[in-house]
Amino acid sequence: MSADKCCESHATAALVGRQVVNVLCGRPHFPISEAATEMNDEGRPGTDTAGNIREVALDLFSRQGYERSTLREIADALGITKAAVYYHYRTKVEILDDLLRPMIDGEDWIIADAESDTAAIGSPAWRLTLVERYIDLLLTHRRVATYAMNDLAGVANSTLLDRMRANDARLAALLANGDLSVEQRVRTSAALGVIVAILALPDVSNAELRPQLLRVVRDVLGLTEQARDAASA
């Protein structure tokens, strides 16, 4: 299998892992945050109207999907006019892009930084750092990441979709470290699937989830074995 085909298969595994969430956990419901519903003395949303719009949109997208959500529903939930929504966002796609962009920008930075560390590329410590940073990024943007895992059809409307797919492929290539063996391909695909599936476990806090997720992913990638072998050498 060529390197390009291998990376493509790992990226596909990440998307499949996102779909597995529906089977394991069902579609999660995230209530509208207090920030999104906080009103000022005049009964209007707080000063960060664009942020409030994104919060309400994320709640609607998570509960009923991007396609079924409307700008009118977002306006009604905030108690503002549709024109007020249009002032900040002309389309749902613009809202979707702004929800996804911080997470995708973070992926860009993590991957670029890992690629630039040429002296350490491929070492167990380097791969572990990459995994930790990626998991921490997804936990930081957990609501958005979980939504993206559950509504692949909706996320496909984003103008940032190509960047997301490219990052999936780059991350898979880095984790595989040029090893195209069947074992390493299985390990890499499984690790990406584990990350995106476990991320959406309900009623588990980030503090509880992070150490368990790191341990499982280290084991799946074989990093625990490599560290043990290095210590005994």
Q: What percent of the chain is predicted at pLDDT more than 90?
A: 51
161-209 per-position pLDDT tens digit: 999 999 988 988 888 876 667 887 788 888 888 888 888 787 899 999 9
> What distance in Å separates the CA atoms of residue 188 and residue 186, rounded to the nearest whole number?
6
Place of tokens 């930075």: 109
- CATH number where 83 lies: 1.10.10.60
Place of tokens 């074995």: 225
105-149 per-position pLDDT tens digit: 999 999 999 999 888 888 888 988 999 999 999 999 999 999 999
Residues of the domain holding 80: 34-92
10-28 per-position pLDDT tens digit: 444 444 344 333 333 333 3
Q: Are residues 76 and 168 in the same domain?
A: no
Q: Are residues 164 and 73 in the same domain?
A: no
Among candidate residues 12, 1, 3, the one with its CA nearest the CA of residue 189: 12
Q: Are residues 82 and 108 in the same domain?
A: no
pTM of the model: 0.75
Q: How many domains does the chain divide into?
A: 2
Q: Are residues 208 and 162 in the same domain?
A: yes
Among candidate residues 163, 144, 168, the one with its CA nearest the CA of residue 154: 144
Inform me whether the pLDDT recorded for 87 exceeds 50.
yes
For residue 87, give both structure tokens.
Answer: 């002032």
Residue type, 101: R
For residue 78, give both structure tokens.
Answer: 């905030």
Domain closes at, from 76, 92, 108: 92
Residue bearing the bigger pLDDT, 43 or 58: 58
